[in-house]
Structure 1
Amino acid sequence: MSTRHLNALFNPRSIAVIGASERATSLGGMVLRNLMAGDYPGQLLVVNRQGYDKVHGIRCERRIKQMPWAPDLAIICTPPETVPKLVRQLGECGVRTAMVMTGGMSRSYSRNGEPLMYAVRDAAKKAGVRILGPNTIGIMSPDTQLNATYAHMGVLPGKIGFVGQSGTVASAVIDWAFARGVGFSRLLTLGDGVDIAHDDLIDYLAEDPGTRAILLHIEHIPNPRRFISSVRAASRSKPVIAVKSGRFPESEYLPHTLPDGITQTDPIYDAALQRAGVLRVNGLDEMFDALESLSRMRRVRREELVVLCNGVGPGVLAVDRLLYQGGELAQFSEETVAKLEQRLPGYLSVRNPLDLGYDASPQLYADVLQILGQDPGIANVLVMYTPTLLEDTLHIADSVMQVARRQRLNVFTCWLGQSTVLDARDAFYEAGVPTFFSPEKAIRAFMHFVKHQRGQRLLAETPESWVEPEVNRQEAREMVQKVIRSRRNHLTNREARQLVAAYGIQTLETAYCDDEEEAVEAFREWGGPVNITLLHERGCHPYLEETSGRGRYRYTIRRLNDEAAISNACQTLMEQYRKHFPNSGFLGFAMHQTNAGLEGIGFSLGLTRDAVFGPLIVCGSAGARVNIMSDRRVALPPLNMNLANELLARSNAYRLLREYSPKPEEDIRAVCQTLVTLSQINSDIPEIRGLEILPLLFGEDGAVACDVAIDLGEPVRPVIKPYPRELEEWVSLKSGREVLVRPIRAEDEPGHLEFHQSQSPETIRYRFFQYRNSFTHDDIARMVQIDYDREMVFIATEWLEDGTERTLGTVRVWTDADNIQCEFAVMVRDDLRGEGLGRILMEKMIRYCKARGTLEMVGHVLPGNEAMAGLARALGFSVTYDQEEDVVALKLPLNKPTEDWHLDRLDGEMPPI
């Protein structure tokens, strides 16, 4: 993850086009012509071994070594076999950024049999050159008059950044956007993406003041950890909309091996994009419709919609589409109904959708919108109009725009038709009012807006706190390590139950029997009815039934009430075992009481592992519904209670549970707690390759895992960094007070709010550089819900007598995408000054940042904050007054830079460490 040298890509002062000629079919010639046609203001140079003096009037050199200066950006348009050598030569000449527009390098091979694109990657890495491509369409940046592409046309200037993977798709986007009047700040494609990837560009665009929204076309995500981290950071400040192509095995560009228990890969991408705060759409047309709504609609809390039209038919079409997509109609208040009845003709009924009549005038539209704007229960209005002989469409549009400017309402429009409504649509576009061609497109765009708002709210919600059960992590770890040392790749049924029980998940009491005689003896002890299961080595692996086929064999016989039935059951199971699994080692029988005390909807929960996205948490129905109804939903760990509830709510079994459970809220909570526990197991024991609980049922004391299967593999960490429990530490203050210093969690929001509200106005001013009377939920959510890959917050807490945790102090760092520099902020309760807590927090953060390789820590304090400046000096910071900004700048070197660009990023030479 790095924005290293990307400024030379987006804002090059000089460009060399390698391989350009005046042939009409010359790729380099096309690029050069586009650069010249766009009035690129920087220096241009051509390199062509044919030895031309000039190409299209631009100076040409025969070899790279003969270039009179090292360009900021080199564009390579030569045959595939020449590219690796050219990259090495560019590096030797001091070029640090290059675009390889040559295609076919994934299908051309070097002498060692690898595709040539990997030779380009290796050469670039060795030479220190950043590479966009190969097989990229290039880059457009209208504000710097840069069109370094072979595209057939340029783009309009705008505020949208587009990052694609396919050049042909980008060409279509360019044409499409131009026709719709959509402009771009930056547009480029990755091609094969051997170096510069989505995450690098997203990091750059997130900080680009000229980019207000980011559009992504994705075919695959080679490094999901970096991708999710960068998009999570960007989506907090800008809408990010993505099209993911290759949704089915037949359309995947790169084949994706299915994880155990998963029948499609597309839900994994859905889960990843949702967790990153991205709005996923189904195609390019939807992308621009979603952009229209996200960039022009106002953020509101309410999701209900009013449909306003001059005819019943269009309104009904809109409502049909709204309800089909899970939207809601708004209800009019009694006062609004009374006002509307007074204003509308008597033959029209007041209901939603609201019909204004075929002869609706501009004034009627305006009056009705004003009435709706006075109803606090109404936030969103779709205004529709069908052309008539009685009114001019532009006059109606003008009246709507006039009211919309003065209202708090989210107003968007649909002027139906084509030839007679174009002027009205153009007027809406110029006024910034979202407008659409049909009721279906308008509703689809609105629901994208709603979906995005829901996703952002979910990511900012305060998770429910719950007391974690007694967990014996050491016992579970030792058990897994013992199995690994014995060279087994799975846990036995008994071991699997013991592991989840060590984490507080209830399991059924089970008797394990080596043979039929022991099973009969166990039955004599227990009495009936009982269930008996045959155990064998292959059966110890999770998701066995997904691949073997449900119902094709019997592995459990239920409700056995006498010894003869036990004997017969054992023999039947042995016959089934020998027929279906003859090469799987026999491990005996397991017996437990028939689940008389368990009831409810059966769930299948577990962990599985994807080759790209790593560990996944799955949740859905138990039994045949998993396959027949495709009821297995996917989420990326780690989970908190909110995310667990969202995962559960997507399953069909959730709706059954809500409808038929005698205690739905308790059961839902029990399932969510189990999902969070599975997330914790995954974090603690990364060697677990797969884990399946089948089924999870409900008893008097909560959820019970009836059967558990676990297999093992190489340790794999989740792509989203979980809570780093290993950084927790107990410390003593000067008074002897014992406090816990630990990373912050999303569940800390209430305590963090109280911490800020308890501080004096002066302390708040020193921390935030202004007086603040209050903090909103969104303010605190941003402080506590952090990406541990990008930020770190340590808080000091103590437990009060009422069982709540109180925050005593906090230190925070924000780290740039390249891990070059981090900025800190620290604050301690006013009544704890002099206890040394500020120093303890700062020293812990300095150790942490040094260990992760950050080069420099910086901070800024107000001139009057002598306490912080004194602490900084004591810790080794340089302390200087910045007269221009009127702040005291603090700077502490942490690690030595190892690259020249590190020094460039640090704005000059660093003091010796």
Structure 2
Amino acid sequence: MGTRYLESLFNPSSIVVVGASERADNLGGMVLRNLLGGSYPGQMLVINQNGYESVHGVPCVSRVSKMEFSPELAIVCTPPDTVPKVVRRLGRAGVRTAMVMTGGMSRAHSRTGQPLMYSVGEAARETGIRVLGPNTIGLMVPARSLNATYAHMGALPGKVAFVGQSGSVASSVIDWAFARGVGFSYFLTLGDSMDIDHDDLIDYLAQDSQTRAILLHIENIPNPRRFMSAVRVASRTKPVIAVKSGRVPESEWFRHELPAGLNRSDPIYDAMLQRAGVLRVDGLGQMFDALETLTRMRPLKRESLAIMANGVGPGVLAVDRLAALGGELATLSEQSIDALADILPPYWTRKNPIDLNYDASPDLYAKAIRILAKDPEVSNVLIMYAPSLTEDSLQIADAVVQAVKGTRLNVFTCWLGQSTVMDARDEFYRAGVPSFFSPEKAVMAFMQHVNHQRVQRLLGETPESFIDHFADHSNTRRIIVNAKRQGRNHLSNHEARDILNDYAINTVPTVYCDDVEEVLEAFAVERRPIDVALMHQRACHPFMEYQTGQGRYRSTVHGLTNESDIIDACRELMEDYQKHFPDSGFLGFAVQRSYKHIDGIAFSVGITRDPLFGPLVVCGAAGAQISVMTDRQIALPPLNMVLAREVLRRTYMSRLLQEFSTEPERDIRAICEVLITLSQIVIDQPEIRGLEISPLLFDRDSTLAVDVAIDLADRPGIPIIQPYPRELEEWIVLPKSGRRVIIRPVLAEDEPAHRAFHEHQSPESIRYRFFQFRKHFSREDVAQMVQIDYDREMVFIANAPREDGEGEETLGTVRVWTDADNLRCEFAVMVHDKMKGEGLGVALMQKMIDYCRSRGTMEMVGNVLPENRPMLQLAEHLGFRIHYNREEEVMDLKLVLNEPEKDWQRERLARAHH
């Protein structure tokens, strides 16, 4: 839905409370008392059908039609069966936003039998009013003296936004935050979120300068694609920390229909949040611990940790926790060790963690910090103190604060205990130094910081080039179309192998036999050990063993070396099949040569489809280990080499591969290439519902798919991350030189060519594009230019083969950033200096104008320096209106692409023009 009217929700100049009375237990009355108690400065009104003159001193009318003005925000606290009608009347009366606090609407039903909360959503869509809830605790904006909730206490003003789903969880968060001194820019819950949802609020908060971090409590995500787009934008500019409740099926409030091959939905949320750059934590305590380090510590230059304490025990506890969380200890330099040896007892261990001894003084703490500050191997330091008779905890805390000032170190502390160290913790809080109650909590908070930077790096990684985006897979299309025509929702084993071969995934050569006699004939030709598998209709579906639970069913016999063993094996396979799958049609036997592979390392990889999250790529252990170890990791397509390596890293089998493979790097790359190829199959062939390769083995050269099964869906699957839009590719011929150029969307793999393009531009061209001189573009700078979300922005590049024949070069680029409501897009364009006069700028701009117009964007805008005459002439040629902006000293450009159809669109555009 976007950010339409959300300003009226967060900053209303007037409020009406519907259903408020002066009864102590009246919900609307509670909200009204909180509004008055918070000194809300705007105009207020109450609607109560009893027609009171006033409620708690606020004027009251009996119905919506008697309002003398149209409030910006309505707070609805009437009985469930009245709410849809009230919301509809408010919308028709011109009220822009409403908060429905009434609960129980998911259990109360309308005459049609659907829960009443859906009727609220229909009323919102019919009248255009934006609705928060039903069943929301309400909204707090402390900086604007707005407490429109029924919460037991108000929130402190601050720079953190909290968006929750549960009112009771939110109440505890307010208490928790107050005790820690954490303030909020915005605080609200979604409730049943029939209209306003996470993605709408994240879009608003991403643009809000008063919000430096976003905390999310998530129970479900109704629109994963919009959520993903919104949160990827937000997490690039400010930390986003999320708690997702309902980790196991027993705790899910909304039951999740599981895709084939998975027994829990939680790993899907894990994969989605990580891909979006969100730090996921396990609970509210971890949320605030992570907030402490993310907002009070600098970005980490290293991920290792140095630890010092006045005793061995605290340091050991911290090291244990660090190791359990996959962290690493910093290695002290020889210079640091020698310097510390001069001030520590002779029995000091000469390594990290550093034991300062129980009688460590404030001066000793300060000297140790200054030594570590000079060590190039140390960036992060956990400083701990256990209460002692000899020293004062507050004096040591003050010494630490003073010693840390001006250093490059990231320092956080843990003052153990409770009654005698509270003043010291307050001292750290005032100094902006994170402090924790226990070594375990301190180390966990540090590792949250590490994990956040890891997911941020994944968000901005530029991958190696691997996929051929221009390959022809017409044979695969023929196979799928033929199966659909025959009314089949699965492919035969032979067809599935043909598809893998079409995508260059190696498969074991297979001979298909109708009976035992043909199996013996195949063995006579092979004259070496063979494997025999029995095929039947159920086995043509992927994840069949996982779905049926037939773990003891034997489908393949390996290493057969003589005819009698083959006959016995075929008989046993047939008996097993008839016992477990009597209703599944027999399809014959498959014969393969027995292959030697790295013993014990067998992967299961594939594609499955979630009803909500769309296609997923899965990777983990093959065979019984899938269930026993739950070693099945999930990734969201599309993938690249970096993302494939990350999902592989999370599997147990990858550790075995590292340990036992003779060439682990080669084998890791090989399996990553398979995962990337699977993600490309998802995009190219959206009719494929499931694909399983199990096992995927390693031979001398690469991976080898032993068995494969593919089934089909009635409808195409759509990834929640928009893949590369190949349909937008276009070849043109430049009129002056006759050079053939492709104009296409940018790919992350274009980073090297994109960087070279910028670095070979003249200083004047760089200044015209970036409004300043820039001599250098870092890899991170260019990665952000090419790593885009096609749902929110678009970059077209003009590429052509290099004149020296060495690959491609980028000749020009145009990009747009589009707002969350698709009203306005801002463009920037640059053409290589050597291509001036070729008409490439016109071609790029026209391509982008046509694209934005087709998406329904209303306006395209841009800024140009007054002396940039070529760009101004191009804009005039394309029909832009040009106006000099005296305040910014630039030329404002505007092109109308589509006419607004709704009042809110016209209002927002008019406000933008002023």
Q: TM-score range by the shorter chain?
A: over 0.9
Task: Report if the CA contact (8 A) 1:600-1:698 is conserved.
Answer: no
- Give distance in 1, aligned partners of 2:146 and 2:244: 28
Q: Deviations over 1:725-763 (max 9, x none)?
A: 222222111211112211111122122111111111111
What does residue range 527-542 of structure 1 map to in structure 2 within 5 Å? 527-542=527-542
Q: Could you say which residue in structure 2 is the equivalent of 1:351?
A: 351
- Give distance in 2, aligned partners of 1:571 and 1:436: 66
Q: Could you say which residue in structure 1 is the equivalent of 2:254?
A: 254
Is 1:833–2:836 an aligned residue pair?
Answer: yes
- Give distance in 1, aligned partners of 2:395 and 2:557: 76
Task: Report if the CA contact (8 A) 1:600-1:657 is conserved.
Answer: no
Partner amino acid for 2:870? A
Is 1:510–2:510 an aligned residue pair?
Answer: yes
1:264 Cα shift?
Answer: 1.4
SS of the residue corresponding to residue 50 of structure 1 reads coil
Q: Could you say which residue in structure 1 is the equivalent of 2:845?
A: 842
Is 1:720–2:721 an aligned residue pair?
Answer: yes
Task: Report if the CA contact (8 A) 1:903-1:910 is conserved.
Answer: no
Q: Could you say which residue in structure 2 is the equivalent of 1:273?
A: 273
- Give distance in 2, aligned partners of 1:357 and 1:527: 74
Q: Deviations over 1:360-382 (max 9, x none)?
A: 22222112111111111110001
Partner amino acid for 2:55? V
Q: Could you say which residue in structure 2 is the equivalent of 1:765?
A: 767
TM-score, with normalisation over the residues of structure 2?
Answer: 0.98
Task: Report if the CA contact (8 A) 2:598-2:660 is conserved.
Answer: no
Partner amino acid for 1:761? P
Partner amino acid for 1:46? V
What does residue range 803-818 of structure 1 map to in structure 2 within 5 Å? 803-818=806-821
Q: Could you say which residue in structure 1 is the equivalent of 2:868?
A: 865
Q: Could you say which residue in structure 1 is the equivalent of 2:573?
A: 573
Q: Could you say which residue in structure 1 is the equivalent of 2:170?
A: 170
SS of the residue corresponding to residue 343 of structure 1 reads coil
Q: Could you say which residue in structure 2 is the equivalent of 1:783?
A: 785
1:777 Cα shift?
Answer: 2.3
1:798 Cα shift?
Answer: 2.0
Q: Could you say which residue in structure 2 is the equivalent of 1:904?
A: 907
1:796 Cα shift?
Answer: 1.2
Partner amino acid for 1:119? S
Q: Could you say which residue in structure 2 is the equivalent of 1:434?
A: 434
Task: Report if the CA contact (8 A) 1:600-1:661 is conserved.
Answer: no
Task: Report if the CA contact (8 A) 1:161-1:213 is conserved.
Answer: yes
SS of the residue corresponding to residue 342 of structure 2 reads helix
- Give distance in 2, aligned partners of 1:802 and 1:103: 68
What does residue range 668-687 of structure 1 map to in structure 2 within 5 Å? 668-687=668-687
Task: Report if the CA contact (8 A) 1:2-1:200 is conserved.
Answer: yes
SS of the residue corresponding to residue 59 of structure 1 reads strand
Q: Could you say which residue in structure 2 is the equivalent of 1:661?
A: 661
Q: Could you say which residue in structure 2 is the equivalent of 1:158?
A: 158
- Give distance in 2, aligned partners of 1:33 and 1:239: 34
CA gap of 1:600–1:756, structure 2 versus 1, over 3 A, is farther
- Give distance in 2, aligned partners of 1:72 and 1:485: 56
Partner amino acid for 2:773? Y
Partner amino acid for 1:131? V
1:522 Cα shift?
Answer: 3.0
Task: Report if the CA contact (8 A) 1:471-1:504 is conserved.
Answer: no
- Give distance in 2, aligned partners of 1:721 and 1:328: 36
What does residue range 405-484 of structure 1 map to in structure 2 within 5 Å? 405-466=405-466, 468=468, 471-484=471-484
- Give distance in 1, aligned partners of 2:611 and 2:55: 48
CA RMSD of aligned residues (A): 1.6
- Give distance in 2, aligned partners of 1:112 and 1:643: 47
1:910 Cα shift?
Answer: 9.4
1:802 Cα shift?
Answer: 5.5
1:908 Cα shift?
Answer: 5.8
1:469 Cα shift?
Answer: 9.7
1:592 Cα shift?
Answer: 1.7
- Give distance in 2, aligned partners of 1:349 and 1:555: 58
Partner amino acid for 1:319? V
Task: Report if the CA contact (8 A) 2:730-2:743 is conserved.
Answer: yes
Equivalent residues, number: 911
- Give distance in 1, aligned partners of 2:20 and 2:470: 69
1:803 Cα shift?
Answer: 4.0
Q: Could you say which residue in structure 1 is the equivalent of 2:324?
A: 324
CA gap of 1:909–1:386, structure 2 versus 1, over 3 A, is closer
Is 1:193–2:193 an aligned residue pair?
Answer: yes
CA gap of 1:42–1:581, structure 2 versus 1, over 3 A, is same
- Give distance in 1, aligned partners of 2:245 and 2:597: 48
Q: Which moved more, 1:117-126 or 1:504-513?
A: 504-513
Task: Report if the CA contact (8 A) 2:40-2:145 is conserved.
Answer: yes
Q: Which moved more, 1:352-361 or 1:513-522?
A: 513-522
Task: Report if the CA contact (8 A) 2:277-2:458 is conserved.
Answer: no
1:348 Cα shift?
Answer: 3.2
- Give distance in 1, aligned partners of 2:272 and 2:132: 24
Task: Report if the CA contact (8 A) 1:639-1:679 is conserved.
Answer: yes
SS of the residue corresponding to residue 602 of structure 2 reads strand
Q: Kindly, what percent of the aligned residue pairs are identical?
A: 62
Q: Could you say which residue in structure 1 is the equivalent of 2:741?
A: 739
1:854 Cα shift?
Answer: 1.1
1:559 Cα shift?
Answer: 2.5
SS of the residue corresponding to residue 300 of structure 2 reads coil
1:600 Cα shift?
Answer: 6.8
- Give distance in 2, aligned partners of 1:701 and 1:387: 61
Is 1:774–2:776 an aligned residue pair?
Answer: yes
Partner amino acid for 2:687? E
- Give distance in 2, aligned partners of 1:534 and 1:359: 74
Task: Report if the CA contact (8 A) 1:489-1:711 is conserved.
Answer: yes
Q: Deviations over 1:519-573 (max 9, x none)?
A: 3333333333222222111110001111233552222222233444444433333
SS of the residue corresponding to residue 750 of structure 2 reads helix
- Give distance in 2, aligned partners of 1:483 and 1:185: 56
- Give distance in 2, aligned partners of 1:99 and 1:462: 43
SS of the residue corresponding to residue 742 of structure 1 reads strand
1:257 Cα shift?
Answer: 1.7
Task: Report if the CA contact (8 A) 2:860-2:897 is conserved.
Answer: yes
Q: Deviations over 1:704-732 (max 9, x none)?
A: 11111000112110111111122222211
SS of the residue corresponding to residue 413 of structure 2 reads strand
Partner amino acid for 1:717? I
Q: Deviations over 1:205-226 (max 9, x none)?
A: 1111111000000011111111
Is 1:208–2:211 an aligned residue pair?
Answer: no
Partner amino acid for 2:724? Y
SS of the residue corresponding to residue 406 of structure 1 reads coil
Partner amino acid for 2:881? S
Task: Report if the CA contact (8 A) 2:16-2:45 is conserved.
Answer: yes
What does residue range 91-240 of structure 1 map to in structure 2 within 5 Å? 91-240=91-240
1:180 Cα shift?
Answer: 1.2
What does residue range 361-380 of structure 1 map to in structure 2 within 5 Å? 361-380=361-380
1:907 Cα shift?
Answer: 1.8
CA gap of 1:222–1:837, structure 2 versus 1, over 3 A, is same
Q: Deviations over 1:401-434 (max 9, x none)?
A: 1122210100111111212211111111111111
- Give distance in 1, aligned partners of 2:759 and 2:806: 20
1:844 Cα shift?
Answer: 1.0
TM-score, with normalisation over the residues of structure 1?
Answer: 0.98
Q: Which moved more, 1:732-741 or 1:485-494?
A: 732-741
Is 1:10–2:10 an aligned residue pair?
Answer: yes
Q: Decide which of 857, 875, 879 is 2:878's aligned counterpart.
A: 875
